[in-house]
Protein backbone atom coordinates (compact mmCIF):
# COMPACT_ATOMS: atom_id res chain seq x y z
CA UNK A 1 0.00 0.00 0.00
CA UNK A 2 2.73 2.41 1.00
CA UNK A 3 4.72 1.41 -2.07
CA UNK A 4 1.81 2.32 -4.34
CA UNK A 5 1.45 5.71 -2.68
CA UNK A 6 5.13 6.46 -3.18
CA UNK A 7 4.98 5.43 -6.80
CA UNK A 8 1.94 7.69 -7.41
CA UNK A 9 3.71 10.64 -5.74
CA UNK A 10 6.80 10.15 -7.88
CA UNK A 11 4.71 10.05 -11.10
CA UNK A 12 2.98 13.27 -10.10
CA UNK A 13 6.30 15.02 -9.51
CA UNK A 14 7.69 13.91 -12.90
CA UNK A 15 4.49 14.93 -14.67
CA UNK A 16 4.55 18.32 -13.01
CA UNK A 17 8.21 18.83 -13.98
CA UNK A 18 7.51 17.96 -17.60
CA UNK A 19 4.52 20.28 -17.73
CA UNK A 20 6.59 23.20 -16.46
CA UNK A 21 9.33 22.52 -19.04
CA UNK A 22 6.78 22.44 -21.85
CA UNK A 23 5.29 25.71 -20.71
CA UNK A 24 8.70 27.37 -20.66
CA UNK A 25 9.51 26.06 -24.14
CA UNK A 26 6.22 27.22 -25.56
CA UNK A 27 6.71 30.63 -23.97
CA UNK A 28 10.16 30.97 -25.49
CA UNK A 29 8.89 29.99 -28.92
CA UNK A 30 6.07 32.48 -28.60
CA UNK A 31 8.55 35.23 -27.76
CA UNK A 32 10.74 34.28 -30.76
CA UNK A 33 7.77 34.27 -33.09
CA UNK A 34 6.56 37.61 -31.84
CA UNK A 35 10.06 39.11 -32.23
CA UNK A 36 10.41 37.70 -35.74
CA UNK A 37 7.00 39.02 -36.75
CA UNK A 38 7.94 42.40 -35.38
CA UNK A 39 11.17 42.42 -37.39
CA UNK A 40 9.32 41.43 -40.54
CA UNK A 41 6.77 44.14 -39.96
CA UNK A 42 9.53 46.70 -39.43
CA UNK A 43 11.30 45.53 -42.61
CA UNK A 44 8.05 45.74 -44.54
CA UNK A 45 7.41 49.23 -43.27
CA UNK A 46 10.99 50.24 -44.15
CA UNK A 47 10.59 48.76 -47.61
CA UNK A 48 7.39 50.71 -48.11
CA UNK A 49 9.11 53.89 -46.97
CA UNK A 50 12.04 53.19 -49.33
CA UNK A 51 9.65 52.61 -52.20
CA UNK A 52 7.88 55.85 -51.44
CA UNK A 53 11.21 57.67 -51.35
CA UNK A 54 12.30 56.06 -54.62
CA UNK A 55 9.01 56.94 -56.32
CA UNK A 56 9.35 60.49 -55.06
CA UNK A 57 12.89 60.60 -56.44
CA UNK A 58 11.76 59.26 -59.81
CA UNK A 59 8.95 61.79 -59.92
CA UNK A 60 11.40 64.59 -59.25
CA UNK A 61 13.68 63.23 -62.00
CA UNK A 62 10.78 63.32 -64.40
CA UNK A 63 9.97 66.89 -63.46
CA UNK A 64 13.61 67.90 -63.86
CA UNK A 65 13.82 66.21 -67.27
CA UNK A 66 10.68 68.05 -68.36
CA UNK A 67 12.26 71.34 -67.32
CA UNK A 68 15.40 70.49 -69.28
CA UNK A 69 13.30 69.79 -72.34
CA UNK A 70 11.57 73.16 -72.00
CA UNK A 71 15.00 74.79 -71.79
CA UNK A 72 16.19 73.03 -74.96
CA UNK A 73 18.71 70.91 -73.04
CA UNK A 74 17.81 67.75 -74.93
CA UNK A 75 20.97 65.76 -74.25
CA UNK A 76 20.75 66.51 -70.52
CA UNK A 77 17.08 65.50 -70.65
CA UNK A 78 17.91 62.09 -72.14
CA UNK A 79 20.81 61.49 -69.77
CA UNK A 80 18.68 62.44 -66.77
CA UNK A 81 15.94 60.00 -67.72
CA UNK A 82 18.48 57.18 -67.88
CA UNK A 83 18.52 57.25 -64.08
CA UNK A 84 14.99 55.79 -63.97
CA UNK A 85 14.93 51.94 -64.26
CA UNK A 86 12.65 50.07 -66.63
CA UNK A 87 10.83 48.55 -63.64
CA UNK A 88 9.53 51.97 -62.64
CA UNK A 89 5.75 52.45 -62.73
CA UNK A 90 6.46 55.73 -64.52
CA UNK A 91 8.55 54.11 -67.23
CA UNK A 92 5.98 54.58 -69.99
CA UNK A 93 6.06 58.27 -69.32
CA UNK A 94 9.85 58.10 -69.24
CA UNK A 95 9.87 56.57 -72.74
CA UNK A 96 7.55 59.22 -74.12
CA UNK A 97 9.53 62.07 -72.63
CA UNK A 98 12.82 60.51 -73.75
CA UNK A 99 11.57 60.22 -77.33
CA UNK A 100 10.37 63.80 -77.33
CA UNK A 101 13.85 64.90 -76.19
CA UNK A 102 15.77 62.54 -78.47
CA UNK A 103 14.18 63.66 -81.74
CA UNK A 104 15.37 67.30 -81.58
CA UNK A 105 18.69 66.10 -80.14
CA UNK A 106 19.21 63.83 -83.17
CA UNK A 107 18.39 66.75 -85.45
CA UNK A 108 21.04 68.83 -83.67
CA UNK A 109 23.62 66.08 -84.10
CA UNK A 110 22.80 65.67 -87.77
CA UNK A 111 23.11 69.41 -88.36
CA UNK A 112 26.42 69.46 -86.50
CA UNK A 113 27.69 66.54 -88.59
CA UNK A 114 26.76 68.27 -91.85
CA UNK A 115 28.60 71.43 -90.76
CA UNK A 116 31.69 69.34 -89.98
CA UNK A 117 31.44 67.67 -93.38
CA UNK A 118 31.26 71.06 -95.11
CA UNK A 119 34.48 71.96 -93.28
CA UNK A 120 36.21 68.87 -94.62
CA UNK A 121 36.21 67.13 -91.22
CA UNK A 122 34.86 63.82 -92.46
CA UNK A 123 36.01 61.69 -89.54
CA UNK A 124 34.43 64.01 -86.98
CA UNK A 125 31.23 64.26 -89.04
CA UNK A 126 30.90 60.46 -89.11
CA UNK A 127 31.51 60.19 -85.37
CA UNK A 128 28.77 62.70 -84.60
CA UNK A 129 26.33 60.95 -86.98
CA UNK A 130 27.01 57.62 -85.28
CA UNK A 131 25.52 58.99 -82.07
CA UNK A 132 22.10 58.77 -83.71
CA UNK A 133 20.81 55.27 -82.97
CA UNK A 134 17.04 55.71 -83.20
CA UNK A 135 14.26 58.04 -84.24
CA UNK A 136 13.22 59.53 -87.53
CA UNK A 137 16.73 60.84 -88.20
CA UNK A 138 18.36 57.42 -87.94
CA UNK A 139 17.89 56.41 -91.61
CA UNK A 140 19.25 59.74 -92.88
CA UNK A 141 22.18 59.51 -90.47
CA UNK A 142 23.11 56.03 -91.77
CA UNK A 143 22.87 57.32 -95.32
CA UNK A 144 25.20 60.23 -94.50
CA UNK A 145 27.66 57.89 -92.77
CA UNK A 146 27.91 55.66 -95.83
CA UNK A 147 28.26 58.63 -98.19
CA UNK A 148 30.94 60.31 -96.10
CA UNK A 149 32.77 57.04 -95.50
CA UNK A 150 32.88 56.39 -99.24
CA UNK A 151 34.17 59.92 -99.67
CA UNK A 152 36.99 59.13 -97.22
CA UNK A 153 37.88 55.99 -99.19
CA UNK A 154 37.88 57.98 -102.45
CA UNK A 155 40.18 60.60 -100.92
CA UNK A 156 42.46 57.88 -99.57
CA UNK A 157 42.65 56.25 -103.00
CA UNK A 158 43.51 59.58 -104.59
CA UNK A 159 46.21 60.19 -101.98
CA UNK A 160 47.65 56.73 -102.51
CA UNK A 161 48.00 57.38 -106.23
CA UNK A 162 49.92 60.57 -105.51
CA UNK A 163 53.73 60.22 -105.43
CA UNK A 164 53.93 61.54 -101.86
CA UNK A 165 50.49 60.51 -100.58
CA UNK A 166 51.17 57.03 -99.17
CA UNK A 167 51.18 57.98 -95.48
CA UNK A 168 48.19 60.29 -95.94
CA UNK A 169 46.23 57.48 -97.60
CA UNK A 170 46.99 55.11 -94.73
CA UNK A 171 45.95 57.77 -92.23
CA UNK A 172 42.59 58.34 -93.93
CA UNK A 173 41.54 54.68 -94.24
CA UNK A 174 42.96 53.95 -90.79
CA UNK A 175 40.59 56.57 -89.36
CA UNK A 176 37.54 54.56 -90.45
CA UNK A 177 36.42 52.89 -87.22
CA UNK A 178 35.14 49.31 -86.69
CA UNK A 179 31.58 50.55 -86.21
CA UNK A 180 31.61 52.07 -89.69
CA UNK A 181 29.71 50.09 -92.38
CA UNK A 182 32.71 50.44 -94.75
CA UNK A 183 35.29 49.35 -92.19
CA UNK A 184 35.95 46.01 -93.94
CA UNK A 185 36.50 47.78 -97.27
CA UNK A 186 38.88 50.23 -95.64
CA UNK A 187 40.86 47.44 -93.98
CA UNK A 188 41.16 45.55 -97.28
CA UNK A 189 42.57 48.65 -99.00
CA UNK A 190 44.90 49.28 -96.08
CA UNK A 191 46.33 45.76 -96.28
CA UNK A 192 46.66 45.87 -100.09
CA UNK A 193 48.49 49.20 -100.02
CA UNK A 194 50.82 48.15 -97.23
CA UNK A 195 51.61 44.88 -98.99
CA UNK A 196 52.36 46.67 -102.27
CA UNK A 197 54.56 49.24 -100.52
CA UNK A 198 56.45 46.59 -98.56
CA UNK A 199 56.95 44.47 -101.69
CA UNK A 200 58.29 47.49 -103.59
CA UNK A 201 60.65 48.37 -100.73
CA UNK A 202 61.96 44.81 -100.61
CA UNK A 203 62.44 44.68 -104.40
CA UNK A 204 64.19 48.07 -104.34
CA UNK A 205 66.61 47.03 -101.60
CA UNK A 206 67.33 43.74 -103.34
CA UNK A 207 68.00 45.46 -106.66
CA UNK A 208 70.27 48.06 -105.06
CA UNK A 209 72.30 45.42 -103.22
CA UNK A 210 72.61 43.29 -106.37
CA UNK A 211 73.68 46.33 -108.41
CA UNK A 212 76.41 47.18 -105.91
CA UNK A 213 77.71 43.60 -106.09
CA UNK A 214 77.59 43.65 -109.89
CA UNK A 215 74.89 40.99 -110.09
CA UNK A 216 73.07 42.72 -112.93
CA UNK A 217 70.62 39.88 -113.80
CA UNK A 218 69.36 39.77 -110.22
CA UNK A 219 69.27 43.57 -110.03
CA UNK A 220 67.23 43.71 -113.24
CA UNK A 221 64.83 41.02 -112.08
CA UNK A 222 64.25 42.73 -108.73
CA UNK A 223 63.84 46.18 -110.31
CA UNK A 224 61.23 44.88 -112.73
CA UNK A 225 59.21 43.57 -109.76
CA UNK A 226 58.70 47.13 -108.49
CA UNK A 227 55.17 48.20 -109.36
CA UNK A 228 54.44 51.23 -111.53
CA UNK A 229 52.90 53.06 -108.58
CA UNK A 230 53.46 56.83 -109.01
CA UNK A 231 55.58 56.95 -105.86
CA UNK A 232 57.89 54.26 -107.30
CA UNK A 233 57.76 55.02 -111.03
CA UNK A 234 60.68 57.46 -111.14
CA UNK A 235 62.78 55.41 -108.72
CA UNK A 236 62.15 52.25 -110.74
CA UNK A 237 63.05 54.02 -113.99
CA UNK A 238 66.22 55.47 -112.45
CA UNK A 239 67.22 52.11 -111.02
CA UNK A 240 66.82 50.36 -114.38
CA UNK A 241 68.85 53.18 -115.94
CA UNK A 242 71.63 52.65 -113.41
CA UNK A 243 71.65 48.93 -114.19
CA UNK A 244 71.89 49.65 -117.92
CA UNK A 245 74.72 52.14 -117.30
CA UNK A 246 76.57 49.55 -115.20
CA UNK A 247 76.17 47.08 -118.07
CA UNK A 248 77.71 49.58 -120.52
CA UNK A 249 80.51 50.39 -118.07
CA UNK A 250 81.37 46.71 -117.75
CA UNK A 251 81.31 46.38 -121.54
CA UNK A 252 83.78 49.26 -121.83
CA UNK A 253 86.06 47.71 -119.20
CA UNK A 254 85.97 44.36 -121.00
CA UNK A 255 86.75 45.94 -124.36
CA UNK A 256 89.64 47.88 -122.85
CA UNK A 257 91.00 44.73 -121.20
CA UNK A 258 90.66 42.79 -124.45
CA UNK A 259 92.46 45.53 -126.38
CA UNK A 260 95.28 45.63 -123.82
CA UNK A 261 95.60 41.88 -124.14
CA UNK A 262 95.75 42.14 -127.93
CA UNK A 263 98.62 44.60 -127.47
CA UNK A 264 100.40 42.10 -125.24
CA UNK A 265 99.85 44.35 -122.25
CA UNK A 266 98.85 41.48 -120.03
CA UNK A 267 99.44 43.46 -116.81
CA UNK A 268 96.94 46.17 -117.77
CA UNK A 269 94.46 43.58 -119.00
CA UNK A 270 94.67 41.70 -115.70
CA UNK A 271 94.24 44.92 -113.75
CA UNK A 272 91.19 45.93 -115.78
CA UNK A 273 89.62 42.48 -115.40
CA UNK A 274 89.45 43.04 -111.64
CA UNK A 275 86.83 45.72 -112.27
CA UNK A 276 84.45 43.17 -113.74
CA UNK A 277 81.92 41.57 -111.34
CA UNK A 278 82.17 38.00 -110.14
CA UNK A 279 78.61 37.22 -111.24
CA UNK A 280 77.18 35.81 -114.45
CA UNK A 281 77.55 36.63 -117.26
CA UNK A 282 80.71 38.57 -116.48
CA UNK A 283 82.40 35.96 -114.29
CA UNK A 284 83.15 33.75 -117.33
CA UNK A 285 84.55 36.63 -119.40
CA UNK A 286 86.56 37.87 -116.41
CA UNK A 287 88.07 34.46 -115.81
CA UNK A 288 88.85 34.10 -119.53
CA UNK A 289 90.71 37.42 -119.54
CA UNK A 290 92.64 36.47 -116.43
CA UNK A 291 93.61 33.08 -117.92
CA UNK A 292 94.78 34.69 -121.16
CA UNK A 293 96.72 37.36 -119.25
CA UNK A 294 98.31 34.67 -117.09
CA UNK A 295 99.27 32.62 -120.15
CA UNK A 296 100.70 35.69 -121.81
CA UNK A 297 102.65 36.52 -118.68
CA UNK A 298 104.11 33.02 -118.58
CA UNK A 299 104.91 33.13 -122.29
CA UNK A 300 106.59 36.50 -121.87
CA UNK A 301 108.67 35.24 -119.00
CA UNK A 302 109.71 32.16 -120.98
CA UNK A 303 110.64 34.38 -123.89
CA UNK A 304 112.62 36.63 -121.61
CA UNK A 305 114.39 33.64 -120.08
CA UNK A 306 115.15 32.26 -123.54
CA UNK A 307 116.50 35.57 -124.73
CA UNK A 308 118.61 35.83 -121.63
CA UNK A 309 119.98 32.36 -122.22
CA UNK A 310 120.70 33.08 -125.88
CA UNK A 311 122.32 36.33 -124.97
CA UNK A 312 124.38 34.60 -122.31
CA UNK A 313 125.52 31.92 -124.77
CA UNK A 314 126.42 34.56 -127.32
CA UNK A 315 128.42 36.48 -124.82
CA UNK A 316 130.17 33.27 -123.80
CA UNK A 317 131.10 32.45 -127.38
CA UNK A 318 132.40 35.96 -127.87
CA UNK A 319 134.62 35.72 -124.83
CA UNK A 320 135.97 32.33 -125.94
CA UNK A 321 136.62 33.60 -129.45
CA UNK A 322 138.51 36.56 -128.09
CA UNK A 323 140.67 34.39 -125.97
CA UNK A 324 141.41 32.03 -128.85
CA UNK A 325 142.33 34.93 -131.08
CA UNK A 326 144.73 36.21 -128.51
Residue-wise pLDDT for 94-135, tens only, equals: 888 888 888 998 999 999 999 998 898 888 999 999 998 888
Q: What is the mean pLDDT of residues 73-79?
A: 89
Q: What local confidence, expressed as pLDDT, does residue 152 receive? A: 92
Cα 33 to chain centroid distance, Å, stands at: 69
Q: Which long-range contacts (CB under 8 A, 24 or more apart) does 83-87 make?
A: 84/58
Per-residue pLDDT for 317 more than 70?
A: no
Instruction: Look at the alpha carbons of 60, 66, 68, 71 in this order and tell me if their dihedral is positive or negative.
Output: negative
292 band by pLDDT with thresholds 50, 70 and 90: confident
- pTM for the complete prediction? 0.61
Domain ranges across the chain: 56-193, 206-326
Q: Please write the tens of the pLDDT for every residue from 155-190.
A: 999 999 888 888 899 999 988 888 888 999 999 999
User: Which residues are CB-neighbours of 259 under 8 A, at least 6 positions away?
Assistant: none
Per-residue pLDDT for 9 more than 80?
A: no
Burial (CB count within 10 angstroms: exposed 0-12, middle 13-18, buried 19+), residue 46: exposed
Query: What DSSP character marks residue 88?
Result: S
Length of the chain: 326
Count of Cβ atoms closer than 10 Å to residue 28 Cβ: 10
Burial 208-240 (b: 16+ CB within 10 A, else e): eebbeebbbebbbebbeebeebebbeebbeebb
Amino acid sequence: MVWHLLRRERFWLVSTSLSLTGLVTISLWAIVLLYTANLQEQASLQQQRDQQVEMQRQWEVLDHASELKQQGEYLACVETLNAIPQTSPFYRRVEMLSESCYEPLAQQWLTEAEVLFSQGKLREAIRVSQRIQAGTSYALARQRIEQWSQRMIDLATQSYQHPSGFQQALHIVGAIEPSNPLFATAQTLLQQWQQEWNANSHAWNTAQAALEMGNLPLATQAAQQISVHPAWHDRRHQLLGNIQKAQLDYESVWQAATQALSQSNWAQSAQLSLQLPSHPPWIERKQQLQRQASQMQQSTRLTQVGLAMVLGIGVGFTIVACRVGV
